[in-house]
Chain A
């Protein structure tokens, strides 16, 4: 077990440790600790632009994913629809294919339609891969307990939309936030769809990919450690909200 943990943490440990490297190469020996490579990363225009683009793509695509996924989960959980299992399978389908297929499909279609590469295509692609997850998370939360409260609200005269946004959404808010955070970390980290569909305005993983061409560089370590920190902070939010739900 200890060996398993050592194996799991080896690359991250090396990454983070040598992001504080005082010397010029992210390999042993360690020449004193320094923050100079973080300063270099934060002053690198491409990294900063990539960071902003990733925030935009992650924020917009996750918000859309959760909104659309929540509506679909509500529709399928609360109404009798013929062919429900098939519809559910259709919505979940993108979870069972490679990101490569999603990215290639969008690339070929954009080129057929004569559309150039853009961040908008990446947002569209990220909703395709993340919305099914948000849908599944919401669906797991819409149980009998919530249904009874919803019908009480209806009896008191609330219309469908009042029930949806005044009762259902606040009731499962922790799950909605958790779903948003999960979608965000996946979008924030996604490479292939972004790589296929962007050229000049690129997301952070694509910037890092370009940095790698320059070989081993402590600046890449610093940027990578920073991304790791952001992701685990977002996941910590999920953990806190999920824990609160369980109490």
Chain B
């Protein structure tokens, strides 16, 4: 009877999915729509949301410091994506293709273990390592490689270093996963037909692993461009990124409409990245 019922009433399956759909709708889509609506009502002189207008968006693009933060966010993200992919690919390849099979799992777990240090603590740990009295500077001084402590922390490069460290682990994981899914016989077949090891890798393995690279790159973009903690702890105050401006609007200016406007612009950037990578992300889903 149960089977017959489910056939006649297709929404039965929908009933099971309803809590999930309702949760996403009520607590994600509706709040984001409310936020979008809020961004269209800039604060008036009394400090309360005024009439419908695009003034906050105009104000954003009229303020050079804001536009600079947007550009810096994009540039930082691009640098981080490129650097962490270039580091992670050979690393993941070594784990997948050089390390003997029985040790691979251990090698992979070791490679992503620090991933589970707390997000806030990880940036703090870099601050410890990089500070003028920290371990890296003390080591360099002891080895007489430098005459006086170098200023590693509190600049955009420190932010990038912190990001690359985290996303190296993430990308190693996604690239490793896609490398191990490739049938090794494809490359062997190419070698049998006379291709060199390099040519076999470039024409067979590399293209087949691109979906893993794309998934890693997209996750990196989503997490990197929206991150506040890493630049706030490591980056110093000369160059602010978009999430730092958003938090400033919330905490200092108490301007939620402007903060909403900036959050939406940030989301537009992520959506553009998704469109750019869509082709490979689709393949990865299959």
B-binding residues in A (CB < 8 A): 1, 4-5, 7-12, 14-15, 18, 25-29, 68-69, 71-72, 74-76, 78-82, 87, 90-91, 93-94, 96-102, 104-109, 111-112, 124-125, 127-128, 131-132, 135, 151, 154, 159-160, 185, 189-192, 196, 204-205, 208-209, 212, 216, 220-221, 223-224, 227-228, 231-232, 235, 239
With A98-B267, A100-B226 known as contacts, the answer to whether A71 contacts B124 (CB < 8 A) is no
Q: Is B60 an interface residue (CB 8 A)?
A: no
Binds A, one of B2-10, B62-70, B203-211: B2-10
Question: Contact at B117–A12, with CB atoms within 8 Å?
Answer: yes
Question: Contact at B165–A7, with CB atoms within 8 Å?
Answer: yes
Q: Is B30 an interface residue (CB 8 A)?
A: yes
- Give per-residue flags for B128-170: 1 if the beta carbon is below 8 A from chain A beta carbons, else 0: 1101011110100000000000000000000000000100110
Chain B residues contacting A7 (CB-CB under 8 Å) are: 165, 168
Question: Contact at B117–A231, with CB atoms within 8 Å?
Answer: yes
Give, as a whole number of angstroms, the nearest-CB distance from A183 to chain B.
14
Question: Contact at B14–A75, with CB atoms within 8 Å?
Answer: yes
Contact of B266 among A5, A101, A204, A221 (CB under 8 A): A101
Question: Contact at A208–B121, with CB atoms within 8 Å?
Answer: yes
Binds A, one of B19-27, B50-58, B183-191, B193-201: B19-27
Task: Return the chain A residue nearest B229 by Cβ.
Answer: A191
Give, as a whole number of angstroms, the nearest-CB distance from B88 to chain A.
9
Question: Contact at A80–B31, with CB atoms within 8 Å?
Answer: no
Chain B residues contacting A191 (CB-CB under 8 Å) are: 119-120, 228-229
Contact sample, A vs B, 19 pairs, CB 8 Å cutoff: A4-B91, A4-B111, A5-B111, A9-B114, A29-B138, A71-B20, A72-B20, A81-B17, A97-B222, A97-B267, A98-B226, A99-B226, A107-B256, A108-B38, A189-B119, A192-B228, A216-B127, A216-B128, A227-B117
Question: Contact at B263–A101, with CB atoms within 8 Å?
Answer: yes
Question: Contact at A5–B168, with CB atoms within 8 Å?
Answer: no
Q: How many residues of B contact A (CB 8 A)?
A: 74
Question: Contact at A205–B116, with CB atoms within 8 Å?
Answer: no
Give the complex CA separation of A146 and B125 in angstroms: 45
The 3 closest A-B pairs by CB, nearest first: A79-B13, A98-B226, A75-B16
Question: Contact at B35–A15, with CB atoms within 8 Å?
Answer: no
Chain B residues contacting A29 (CB-CB under 8 Å) are: 138
Give the complex CA separation of A80 and B228 in angstroms: 42
With A68-B23, A101-B226 known as contacts, the answer to whether A224 contacts B127 (CB < 8 A) is no
Q: Is B87 an interface residue (CB 8 A)?
A: yes
Question: Contact at A104–B263, with CB atoms within 8 Å?
Answer: yes
Give the complex CA separation of A224 and B17 in angstroms: 38
Contact of B87 among A4, A90, A94, A132 (CB under 8 A): A4
Question: Contact at B34–A112, with CB atoms within 8 Å?
Answer: yes
Chain A residues contacting B17 (CB-CB under 8 Å) are: 71-72, 75-76, 81, 87, 91
Give the complex CA separation of A98 and B269 in angstroms: 11
Contact of B120 among A72, A159, A208 (CB under 8 A): A208
Give the complex CA separation of A87 and B165 in angstroms: 35
Question: Contact at A105–B34, with CB atoms within 8 Å?
Answer: yes
With A98-B270, A104-B246, A104-B259 known as contacts, the answer to whether A27 contacts B118 (CB < 8 A) is no
A contact patch SS: helix
Chain A residues contacting B182 (CB-CB under 8 Å) are: none
Chain A residues contacting B103 (CB-CB under 8 Å) are: none
Q: Is B233 an interface residue (CB 8 A)?
A: yes
Give, as a whole number of angstroms, the nearest-CB distance from A217 to chain B.
10
Chain B residues contacting A72 (CB-CB under 8 Å) are: 16-17, 19-21
Chain B residues contacting A112 (CB-CB under 8 Å) are: 34, 38
Chain A residues contacting B138 (CB-CB under 8 Å) are: 27-29
Give, as a whole number of angstroms, the nearest-CB distance from B26 to chain A.
9
Q: Is B177 an interface residue (CB 8 A)?
A: no
Contact of B2 among A91, A98, A154, A209 (CB under 8 A): A154
Give the complex CA separation of A180 and B124 in angstroms: 28
Contact of A14 among B34, B134, B223 (CB under 8 A): B134
Question: Contact at A91–B24, with CB atoms within 8 Å?
Answer: yes
Q: Is B32 an interface residue (CB 8 A)?
A: yes
With A72-B21, A98-B266 known as contacts, the answer to whether A107 contacts B250 (CB < 8 A) is yes
- Give per-residue flags for B100-111: 1 if the beta carbon is below 8 A from chain A beta carbons, else 0: 000000000111
11 additional A-B pairs beyond A11-B114, A18-B128, A98-B222, beta carbons within 8 Å, are A8-B165, A28-B133, A28-B135, A68-B23, A75-B12, A94-B24, A98-B270, A100-B263, A112-B34, A189-B119, A208-B124
